[in-house]
């Protein structure tokens, strides 16, 4: 690579890069938040000491590099029971409503490495609903999906996860749900048997099932307004009547979208689809 590095990328250069990626790899970043995408691309260039010319050359000629670039740009930080107050609200406002259902389908959109989906599985398990549930975790990133399928995590992270779990007023200890072996912990099979991880692109893919619960946290903030609207429409069409949309504290429905949803928890942005 060139010795000369660049500290940033302009919005015009970013637009050209987005067009290059779409033309060569068929992946369209056009509806992602430009500010967020600019920050992430700039970070990649700085960490890898790449000029814009270097980056364009790699993206043009190296498919393996594009896969790693995609991971860096799209991967979201996640953890088990992240924002415990959100999970407390799901436990008190969503799960009791579903207890009479014979089948419950839960979609964790943008699931990354799977910790949030397994957190939902634990919540439903503790209410003796797991056997009636099926959990779908989707992401555009095949590498993080493989990580999620394996359900193997760093034991150092489990301490924070356990603290989060304890704050949700749950009924057991987090260690009840995994097996510790040397330098890793593995989610128990009993928690994985009703779980499916698969590729789904919120920017371009459509409805693939009908759900009673959809959780999508810290994902919409990376999309521009038009794509956010399309994704909310996708979620609405994917929810069964009176199903729940769980967005978390950082994302909310706009006033134009609220007419089709009942607000269940304004702070944690949990909504119920109304017919």
Q: Helix axis angle, 52-61 relative to 34-47, nearest 10°?
A: 90
Stated as kind and residue range, the H or E segment containing 146 is helix 142-150
In angstroms, the CA 112 to CA 199 distance is: 11
pLDDT of residue 3: 45
Cα 17 to the chain's mean position, in Å? 25
Helix, strand or coil, per DSSP, at residue 186: strand
pLDDT of residue 75: 65
For residue 139, give the nearest of 167, 160, 111 by alpha carbon: 111
Beta bridge partners of 239: 211
The residue written with tokens 């436990």 in the block is 91
Residue pLDDT, tens place only, 133-185: 999 999 998 888 999 999 999 999 999 999 999 999 777 899 999 999 888 99
Residue 60 zone, left/alpha/beta (φ > 0; ψ -120 to 50; rest): alpha
Q: What is the pTM of this model?
A: 0.86
Low-confidence ranges of the chain (pLDDT < 70): 1-7, 75-76
pLDDT of residue 1: 47
pLDDT of residue 154: 92
């Amino acid at each position: 690579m060139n010795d000369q590095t660049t500290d940033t990328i302009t919005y015009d250069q970013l637009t050209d890069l987005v067009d290059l990626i779409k033309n060569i790899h068929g992946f369209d970043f056009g509806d992602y938040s430009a500010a967020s995408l600019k920050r992430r691309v700039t970070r990649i260039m700085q960490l890898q000491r790449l000029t814009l010319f270097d980056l364009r050359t790699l993206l043009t000629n190296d498919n393996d590099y594009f896969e790693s670039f995609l991971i860096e740009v799209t991967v979201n930080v996640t953890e088990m029971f992240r924002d415990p107050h959100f999970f407390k609200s799901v436990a008190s406002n969503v799960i009791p409503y579903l207890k009479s259902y014979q089948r419950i389908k839960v979609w964790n959109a943008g699931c990354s490495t799977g910790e949030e989906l397994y957190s939902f599985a634990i919540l439903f398990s503790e209410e003796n609903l797991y056997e009636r549930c099926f959990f779908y975790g989707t992401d555009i990133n095949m590498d993080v999906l493989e990580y999620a399928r394996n359900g193997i995590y760093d034991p150092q992270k489990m301490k924070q996860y356990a603290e989060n779990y304890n704050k949700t007023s749950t009924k057991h200890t987090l260690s009840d749900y995994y097996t510790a072996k040397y330098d890793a912990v593995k989610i128990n099979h009993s928690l994985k048997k009703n779980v499916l991880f698969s590729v789904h692109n919120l920017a371009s893919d459509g409805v693939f099932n009908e759900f009673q619960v959809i959780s999508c946290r810290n994902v919409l903030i990376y999309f521009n307004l038009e794509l956010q609207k399309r994704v909310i429409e996708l979620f609405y069409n994917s929810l069964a009547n009176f199903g729940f949309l769980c967005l978390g504290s950082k994302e909310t429905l706009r006033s134009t979208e609220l007419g089709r949803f009942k607000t269940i928890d304004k702070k944690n942005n949990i909504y119920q689809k109304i017919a």
